């Protein structure tokens, strides 16, 4: 996982909405697409970017692919952010 890929992925409002949808549990691409006014290939493109950033994982069940959040990456990002803020606060105290 690269933080650059993560930040690129979450910079897009459509991808942030996909992540929000997946907070409630896994969904198929079709179920995700039903929440947007765009073609399925566009949704697949957004899912590909989220997968490349390791924010989303998928699993195949029959003919369907189910997408879910990879919470480990969110935990890593949160840990980095907290360390960043903490170091900034310590630096300001000097």
Longest dimension (CA), the chain: 59
43 in a domain, yes or no? Answer: yes
**Residue 76, both tokens:** 């890593």
- pTM confidence score: 0.83
pLDDT recorded at residue 89: 66
Domain that holds residue 76: 3-85
Q: Is 25 helix (H, G, I), strand (E, B) or coil?
A: coil
77 in a domain, yes or no? Answer: yes
Report the CATH number at residue 18.
Answer: 1.10.10.10
CA distance 42 to 5: 19
Q: Which residues contact 46 (CB under 8 A, 6 or more apart)?
A: 12, 14, 15, 18
How many folded domains does the chain comprise?
Answer: 1
pLDDT recorded at residue 1: 61
Per residue of the chain (94 residues), give pLDDT as tens.
Answer: 678 899 999 999 999 999 999 999 999 999 999 999 988 899 999 999 999 999 999 999 999 999 999 988 878 888 888 988 887 666 665 4
52 in a domain, yes or no? Answer: yes
pLDDT recorded at residue 86: 82
pLDDT recorded at residue 71: 87
Compute the C-alpha angle 53/2/21, nearest 5°: 30
């Amino acid at each position: 996982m690269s933080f650059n890929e993560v930040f690129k992925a979450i910079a897009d409002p459509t991808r942030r909405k996909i992540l929000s949808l997946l907070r409630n549990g896994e969904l198929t691409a079709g179920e995700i697409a039903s929440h947007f006014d765009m073609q399925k290939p566009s949704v697949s493109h957004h899912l590909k970017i989220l997968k490349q950033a390791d924010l989303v994982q998928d699993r195949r069940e029959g003919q369907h692919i189910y997408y879910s959040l990879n919470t480990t990456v969110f935990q890593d990002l949160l840990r980095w952010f907290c360390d960043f803020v903490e170091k900034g606060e310590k630096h300001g105290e000097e």
